[in-house]
C-alpha cells in the first residue's frame, strides 16, 4: 500500500467488474462492485468515464474513512 500526501492509505489497484449498454443516444457503464455509473458517446468513452468516476469514488471513501490527522 502507498500513502497520499494527506497520509491516507491507498490500497493496491484491483480489477472492477462493469457492464456497458446502449441507452440512446448514449452508452451507459455501470460498475458492479460499487454503486457508480457513467456514460459516453461511445462504449470506450463510457468505460473511460467510469474508470475516472470509480477512482474519484474511492478517493472520497478514503478521505472519509481515513481523515488526515491535520483535519481533526
CB 31 within 8 A of CB 17: yes
Domain that holds residue 50: 16-67
Residues in contact with 59: Cβ distance below 8 Å, sequence separation at least 6, in sequence order: none
Q: In this structure, how many other beta carbons lie within 10 angstroms of the beta carbon of residue 25?
A: 7
Does the residue 46 lie in any domain?
yes
Predicted model pTM: 0.70
In a domain? residue 49 = yes
Q: Count of domains in the chain?
A: 1
DSSP state of 34: S
Q: For residue range 16-72, what is the model confidence (pLDDT) as tens digits?
A: 899 999 999 999 999 999 999 999 999 999 999 999 999 999 887 777 765 667 755
Looking up cell 455501470, which residue turns up?
30
Residue 2 lies in a domain: no
Is 43 part of a structural domain of the chain?
Answer: yes
Amino acid at each position: 500500500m502507498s500513502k497520499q500526501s494527506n497520509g491516507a492509505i491507498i490500497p493496491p489497484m484491483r480489477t472492477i467488474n462493469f457492464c456497458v449498454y446502449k441507452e440512446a443516444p448514449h452508452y451507459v457503464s455501470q460498475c458492479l462492485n460499487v454503486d457508480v455509473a457513467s456514460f459516453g458517446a461511445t462504449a470506450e468513452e463510457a468505460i473511460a468515464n467510469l474508470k475516472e468516476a470509480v477512482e474519484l469514488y474511492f478517493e472520497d471513501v478514503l478521505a472519509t474513512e481515513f481523515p488526515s490527522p491535520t483535519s481533526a
